[in-house]
Amino acid sequence: MKTKGCLYGISLGPGDPGLITRKAWECLQQNAVWTYPKRNKKSDSYAFNIAMRAGLELPTEHQALIFPMTHDESKLAKHWLASAQTVLEYLQQGKDVMFLVEGDASTYSTFGHLARTVQSLDEDVELNIIAGVPSFHAAAARIQTPIAEVDDTIAIIPAGYGLTMIENLLKNFDVLVLLKVKPLLNDIIDLLKQKNILQHASFIEKAGAPEERVVDDVASLYGEKVNYLSLLLIKNPDRVRGEMIRGCRKKTVSE
């Protein structure tokens, strides 16, 4: 007999309801409890909106959970605990809980915090994570430019690490995906211009959502306030190759 519900991490993809996987879609038809993250009581839930745009029917029980945008750890811990307790109550009633997230549940998602906190309260809780399409892969499809081919190397970082880090990564990586570019955009534009690779950068905001915006002329964004859900995809054709040790090498390099 099943006594406890299962906690599902349901990835909805970056915004286009067509990018929801068949498995996630099936999970959302089962009239299980839906939960979804919100920044605060008054804000919208991006994940919930994807499900609504998809034409999915709301289940009998559904509830927003607050995940504030802050680096204040005590504030975060308080909200994670409250969310986990809400979820655990449903689970202990034998109900499955679907936690809806945009993008992929394992990639810069609030699902990890929720799952960890729930399992810290009750280690027997079972998880089921349905993988999804992350925003940067949808962005690459949208601009019809491969993220990576053959031997390419990819770095994905929140842009907040700053210009020195970005500059260093250009030595080793063919592709940089810079997330949350908003506060640093002007500086990054200057850096890419100076490196003469600005023409290889694309800006994508809310990939797949109705408000999606793709800007190939990244320089035109200088001075503009962009959305939080925006990224830069930078190809780096100048990287010096030749370090690659082909798959068939026979010798050990170091030990």
Q: Which listed residue (155, 185, 229, 231) binds a copy of itself by CB under 8 A?
A: 155
Would you state the structure tokens that stand for residue 9, as one six-digit string?
A: 């991490």
Subset of residues 197 to 226 that bind a copy of itself, contact rule: CB under 8 A: none
Q: Residue 132, interface with a copy of itself (CB under 8 A)? A: yes
Q: Using the minimum distance from each CB to a copy of itself, give the nearer residue, 25 or 61.
A: 25
Q: Is 9 helix (H, G, I), strand (E, B) or coil?
A: strand
Site stretch for a copy of itself (CB under 8 A), options 33-41, 93-101, 125-133, 216-224: 125-133
Nearest-approach distance from CB 215 to a copy of itself, in angstroms: 18
Q: Which listed residue (163, 211, 214, 224) binds a copy of itself by CB under 8 A?
A: 163
Q: Residue 109, interface with a copy of itself (CB under 8 A)? A: yes
Q: Which of 104, 95, 110 is nearest to 129 (CA)?
A: 104
Length of the chain equals 255
Number of residues that bind a copy of itself (CB under 8 A): 81
Nearest-approach distance from CB 147 to a copy of itself, in angstroms: 5
Residue tagged 């929720």 (tokens): 114
Q: Residue 146, interface with a copy of itself (CB under 8 A)? A: yes
Would you state the structure tokens that stand for residue 209, as one six-digit string?
A: 């959502």
Q: Residue 129, interface with a copy of itself (CB under 8 A)? A: yes
Is residue 22 within 8 Å of residue 132, measured between CB atoms?
no
Cα 16 from Cα 28, distance rounded (Å): 16
CA 141, 144, 149: angle at the middle one, nearest 5?
A: 85
Q: Residue 249, interface with a copy of itself (CB under 8 A)? A: yes
CA 14, 159, 207: angle at the middle one, nearest 5?
A: 20
Q: Residue 182, interface with a copy of itself (CB under 8 A)? A: yes
- Contact string 51-90 vs a copy of itself (x = CB under 8 A): --------------------x-------------------
Cα 21 from Cα 9, distance rounded (Å): 13
Cα 148 from Cα 136, distance rounded (Å): 12
Subset of residues 6 to 35 that bind a copy of itself, contact rule: CB under 8 A: 9, 11, 13, 16-23, 25-26
Q: Residue 104, interface with a copy of itself (CB under 8 A)? A: yes
Give per-residue burial for 218-234: e unless 16+ CB within 10 Å, then b. beebeeeebeebbbbbb
Residue tagged 């320089």 (tokens): 219
Q: Using the minimum distance from each CB to a copy of itself, give the nearer residue, 10 or 64.
A: 10
Q: Using the minimum distance from each CB to a copy of itself, give the nearer residue, 40 or 194.
A: 194
